[in-house]
Amino acid sequence: MVKLTSMVKTSGCAAKLAPAELHRVLDSLPKVENEHLLGGYADADDALVWKVGDNLVCIQTVDFFPPMVDDPYTFGQIAAANALSDVWAMGASPAVAMNLMCFPACLDIDVMRQIMLGGLSKVTEAGAVIAGGHTISDPTPKYGLCITGFCSPAQVWKNGGAVPGDVLVLTKPLGVGIINTAVKAGFASEEAAATAVKSMTTLNKYARDAARELAVHGATDVTGFGLLGHCYEMAQAGDVTLRIDSSALPVIEQALEYADLGMLPEGLYNNMDYLKGQVEFPGGLRQSLRDVMFDPQTSGGLLLAMDASDAERFTETFPDGRIIGSVVEKKDYPLVVF
């Protein structure tokens, strides 16, 4: 059987366009305004917010990418978990989804079936349904979902809501992009690969549920732009500075080892370029730890800004959550690592 990862140059969220190039295009487009459109890409939010009625908004997002694992079922699970995450990052619940599939003619059609079954398993776990989709023939396999969710206007989490005095909570460890690169090179251990897959297939539903009754001021998920890229968007949207405690970051241990050996995805360098001059780093910081902070994550965790008491309550009920920093008044740098 053909290995899925042998058919792609970049994988998962590392396949995203370089953020600097993407923003050059997006910033040149006319701003879309409509009385029902309450949020979208102009605010760096993870999904658009559409007012349906006084007490109901629709959350809509789309996400797809090439494989980072060879097993088609697992690839479908990861792609679905990643796409669903944008709805939870907005504080909403996914309701209905549609498949997006690019499939090479050289592969057995059962591979497509297994990818879709993997996606279905995670959509079902999320409490949503898949109701159709679209497929095209393409030399590079790609899979993802278009998802619609719903919540009340008061429940929407926005990227730009972080305020000085908040603390920052991250709900998944960093380093899956580096580990995926090591896997593709045939260098990663089985343990590291399994740890990355477990993280990527874990739904952010459970982190969202644990924070649902708390006052979340700002929220996003950490994916292709890396931890610092998504922190930067949160800082810019809220006109604040985020302080990141490098010693508090949850990191998959082997990712540091592989980063030391130079196994870095292309997207990591794109993220570094995008944030040049935007991050204050301390002297003597381990280079591999700095790399991990730029590492493009596939199906990464939620990044939540909330007051300290709520953050403590959250980490008690959701032990995978880690307090990694704080929000302060705007300084010379949008991001300060210490």
Give the catalytic positions in this structure. 13
Task: Please check whether residue 212 is in contact with residue 293, taking contact to mean a CB–CB distance below 8 angstroms.
Answer: no
Q: What phi and psi values does residue 288 have, to the nearest 5 degrees?
A: -65, -30
Distance CA 206, CA 324 (A): 19
Distance CA 220, CA 160 (A): 9
Core vs surface per residue 267-285: b (16+ CB within 10 A) or e: bbebbbebbeeebbbeeee
Distance CA 90, CA 220 (A): 7
Based on its alpha-carbon atoms, the radius of gyration of the chain, rounded to whole angstroms, reads 19
From the list 296, 272, 204, the residue with the least C-alpha distance to 10 is 296
Alpha helices (H) along the chain: 19-26, 72-89, 109-125, 176-184, 190-201, 205-211, 226-238, 253-260, 266-274, 287-294, 308-317
Task: Please check whether residue 93 is in contact with residue 212, taking contact to mean a CB–CB distance below 8 angstroms.
Answer: no
Give the DSSP letter string of 9-52.
SS-GGGGSPPHHHHHHHHTTSPPP--TTEEE-GGGT-SSEEEEE
- Kindly state the tokens that stand for 126: 């999320």
Q: Is 141 helix (H, G, I), strand (E, B) or coil?
A: coil
- Kindly state the tokens that stand for 278: 């935007």
CA 180 vs CA 22, 64, 170, 174: distances in Å? 23, 17, 20, 12
- Look-up of token digits 């009920």: 317
